[in-house]
Amino acid sequence: MSHCHDEHSGHGHDHHHGGDGHDHSNDITPADQTRLYEQIDFDKIVTLNEEEPQSGKAITKKTWAERLDSEPELTSDADEQLLMHIP
């Protein structure tokens, strides 16, 4: 797993990332996602105020490769609040 914390050691507390020549796109690898997904009971995920039934479950099942896809989408049916219980 790639972290850039070591690259900033000895630099004081300047936390500026503009133009420093690296990105954080690999900070969370698919292996980490697999370990997390093993702990989730997807069939018991409950989402309140979702416009499309089961869309809360659908977005949590997105893989690392699908993380930037716009579908599935989770939107609220009534107000700006969505509540999710992820066991």
pLDDT tens per residue across span 8-24: 445 555 555 555 555 55
- Does some domain include residue 75? yes
- Does some domain include residue 68? yes
- Does some domain include residue 28? no
- Tokens 């099942």, residue located: 61
At residue 49, the pLDDT reads 94
- Does some domain include residue 2? no
- Does some domain include residue 30? no
- Does some domain include residue 59? yes
Ramachandran class of 29: left when φ > 0, alpha when ψ lies in -120 to 50, beta otherwise: beta
3-state secondary structure of 81: coil
- Does some domain include residue 67? yes
At residue 83, the pLDDT reads 93
At residue 79, the pLDDT reads 82
CA atoms within 13 A on the CB side of 63: 4
Q: Is the pLDDT of residue 41 over 90?
A: yes
Q: With contact defined as beta carbons under 8 Å apart, do 86 and 40 qualify?
A: yes
- Does some domain include residue 11? no
Number of domains in the chain: 1
Its domain, for residue 52, covers 41-86
**Considering the chain, what is the average pLDDT of its residues?**
77
